[in-house]
């Protein structure tokens, strides 16, 4: 492909659609498939394992799992196991979860950057096949390591990408991780400050590495016969996120007044009817600033805008007519 592309699969897709998209990616030169896990709708590890078994070429990342709900040792051995299924193709994409869900399940966010540093440090030590002794504020390990009783213990090459948005987490990613997996609903203009934050972190690296990878999920919808229908598919998605995860508004240029008006319609969780009632408050211009939607040309041009702003590999998250969106953008990327 002239433009490196990945695919983001998550709870909006049926499992049948998930595996179809992953297999299409594997057969059409896509670089990666990223399996989402956020809401309490579907685990991310099980689909990732099945995708690993059904594909041969594409890399498989979690986009993202969180560092709150799984012990760091379990996370490390889980990804070691995935690497056994698809050697050299597994990426640990990890984020700090989000509110209000974290608090609702008894894991409120507290000092997310500090906790992420501890968690990743421990996972990296496991991946190097070293004994882990770590006494942190959030993570404690006492003399543990991979324990393959019947096979040789070996290091595993598992890149770690941090699902970062804010400047402090982006800086941490530059300092200790292999890449950043940025969330959707951020405009290309956001990349200027994001790359500066990553560069500050890279300057602190102890390993002398000169840079890290940058991927970003982009919500996409294509309809060449009715571009407004594609825009509306992305508008519904953006409306939902502004109502339920208002921190998104801070990064995508949305006035707090609009968020407040949307939240007067519905909060968490919102019903499909709530979203339809709130959508007219969201202008097309805002939707098109933070998503790739409309005609195939419109959507592909927006993916290129992200690439030109510094995203090495845009990650397509399909909305609306998902099959049409994915197949037409795949064809455009090959032209």
Q: What one-character-per-residue DSSP string does 83-133 give?
A: HHHSTT-EEEEEE---TTHHHHTT----SHHHHHHHHHHHHHHHHTT--EE
Nearest to 9 by CA among 1, 81, 28, 46: 46
Q: What is the DSSP-derived secondary structure letter of residue 271?
A: P
Check residue 256 and give its pLDDT: 87
Q: pLDDT tens-digit profile of 184-215?
A: 999 999 999 999 999 999 999 999 999 999 99
On whether residue 323 sits in a domain, the answer given is: yes
Check residue 38 and give its pLDDT: 80
> Beta strands of 190-279 (E only): which ranges?
213-222
- The CATH number of residue 114's host domain is 3.20.20.30
State yes or no: pLDDT of 100 exceeds 90: no
Domain tally, the chain: 1
| pTM given for the model | 0.94
Give SS3 for 158: coil
| Structural domain boundaries, residue 161 | 6-221+293-334
Give 26 or 255, the one with higher predicted confidence.
26
On whether residue 261 sits in a domain, the answer given is: no
Mean pLDDT of 279-294: 96
Check residue 268 and give its pLDDT: 64
Q: Which two tokens stand for residue 47?
A: 């689909």
State yes or no: pLDDT of 267 exceeds 70: no
∠ CA 165-215-240, rounded to 5°:
55
Is residue 115 within 8 A of residue 96, CB to CB? The reply is yes
On whether residue 274 sits in a domain, the answer given is: no
Mean pLDDT of 83-90: 98
On whether residue 324 sits in a domain, the answer given is: yes
On whether residue 148 sits in a domain, the answer given is: yes
Q: Which two tokens stand for residue 122?
A: 């421990």
> Beta strands of the chain (E only): which ranges?
6-9, 32-35, 59-62, 65-66, 90-95, 132-135, 140-144, 160-162, 179-182, 213-222, 292-294, 313-318
Check residue 250 and give its pLDDT: 80
On whether residue 37 sits in a domain, the answer given is: yes
On whether residue 207 sits in a domain, the answer given is: yes
Is residue 3 within 8 A of residue 307, CB to CB? The reply is yes
On whether residue 209 sits in a domain, the answer given is: yes
Check residue 156 and give its pLDDT: 97
């Amino acid at each position: 492909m002239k433009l490196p592309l990945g695919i983001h699969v998550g709870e909006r897709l049926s499992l049948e659609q998930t595996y179809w998209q992953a297999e299409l990616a594997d057969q059409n030169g896509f670089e990666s498939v990223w399996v989402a896990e956020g809401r309490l709708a579907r685990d991310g590890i099980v689909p990732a394992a099945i995708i690993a078994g059904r594909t041969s070429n594409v890399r498989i990342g979690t986009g993202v799992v969180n560092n709150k709900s799984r012990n760091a040792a379990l996370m490390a051995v889980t990804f070691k196991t995935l690497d056994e299924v698809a050697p050299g193709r597994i990426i640990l994409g990890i984020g700090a979860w989000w509110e209000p869900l974290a608090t609702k399940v008894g894991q409120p966010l507290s000092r997310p950057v500090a906790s992420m540093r501890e968690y990743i440090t421990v996972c990296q030590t496991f991946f190097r096949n070293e004994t882990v002794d770590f006494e942190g504020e959030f993570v404690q390990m006492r003399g543990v390591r991979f324990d393959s009783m019947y096979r040789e213990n070996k290091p595993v090459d598992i890149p770690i990408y941090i699902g970062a948005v804010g400047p402090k987490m982006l800086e941490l990613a530059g300092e200790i991780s292999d890449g950043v997996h940025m969330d959707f609903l951020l405009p290309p203009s956001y990349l200027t400050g994001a790359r500066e934050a990553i560069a500050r972190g890279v300057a602190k690296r102890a390993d002398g590495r000169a840079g890290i990878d940058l991927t970003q999920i982009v919500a996409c919808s294509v309809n060449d016969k009715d571009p407004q229908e594609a825009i509306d598919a992305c508008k519904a998605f953006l409306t939902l996120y502004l109502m339920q995860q208002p921190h998104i508004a801070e990064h995508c240029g949305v006035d707090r007044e609009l968020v407040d008006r949307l939240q007067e319609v519905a909060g968490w969780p919102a019903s499909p009817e709530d979203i339809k009632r709130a959508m007219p408050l969201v202008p097309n211009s805002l939707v098109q600033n933070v998503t790739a939607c409309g005609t195939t040309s419109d959507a592909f041009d927006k993916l290129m805008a992200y690439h030109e702003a510094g995203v090495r590999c845009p990650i397509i998250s399909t909305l609306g007519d998902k099959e049409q969106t994915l197949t037409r953008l795949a064809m455009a990327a090959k032209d």
